[in-house]
Structure 1
């Protein structure tokens, strides 16, 4: 299922978005940018969104998060992972369970979430690299993070990512939308790394909102 935004100002990943969705630009007070992961909720039904853990770490618990520039405050960092996931939790009421799939404003509904498997095809949607496609080449491995030290049970894939793509949703396509499988957080010359959705749930106690 494809959705096209009808409000002209919602024309790109870096535009101002009334409803916050995965794959769009967010920034810290320093102006450093990253990518919003996906809309989520905790066990009590409180809504918000997941973002990059190392970006939130630099802001700190209680640190402000803006979209798309520091002229527009959207909320504050509530929790930061760092064991099974490079991810953080931000409570917010204006979230929507969609992902910015590709340029020209194509949105896809979040219909499911689950860890993926070695060899599976995945997509990443980040503010720098846009929509990228690749395959998982290693799963549930230990990876060294410059911010958190050892991250456990991480995934390695061969899609392209770059600075600014931190926090980007990693997902698979479904007949009606997308299945969230993780949060992009790092890259080397040939590979990218993401935290699986199981790690996000374990570290933060939140789950993606589904349509």
Structure 2
């Protein structure tokens, strides 16, 4: 099983340049999905104008399928206010955009579970758009339009403060939770989180390392740990 550290490392290179509130949301989203048994990877974050124009050219002046209707400067990615994601497969190397995949076996599509967690954090989902749907896309627009962003407007301080409170459970600080290592007989097993004196750790990683079997009953929302 992949550890939280391993999952985090897959997205680290694509989180640079994001707006601080979106960065906080992306990190929490990765963690919450991991706890639900759904590792994800951020495949796109900040995108330059040149990179945006190159994507826009696909299916138009370059071979390929059309993937965006936004020219350079017309995407929230260009302002560090958007991310794209995919499902990280158990081998830790390959990713999937299969929206029907149920890797955690709870009879709910993993993709929709990720969307649920993202919306709890205040992220807008491209799958809700009425024209060009972008199912892997999340953004935090703060009510701003592309035209306003082009004109130099940016999220107001009170908007950012409110967003961070929602993301961090009522706290203003970014990354308040302290990530810790969980070891078994001196060997690192997985990563956990220390928050206000309480340690949170993925139950499956810990239980299976101790020889127990873990199952999840989606009907009763119960995690069952059975010792062998």
TM bracket, shorter-chain basis: under 0.3
The structure with the greater share of residues assigned to strand is 1
After TM superposition, the score normalised by the length of structure 2 is 0.23
The structure with the greater share of residues assigned to helix is 2
Report 1 or 2 for greater relative contact order, CA contacts < 8 Å, sequence distance ≥ 6: 1
* Higher CA-based Rg: 2
After TM superposition, the score normalised by the length of structure 1 is 0.24
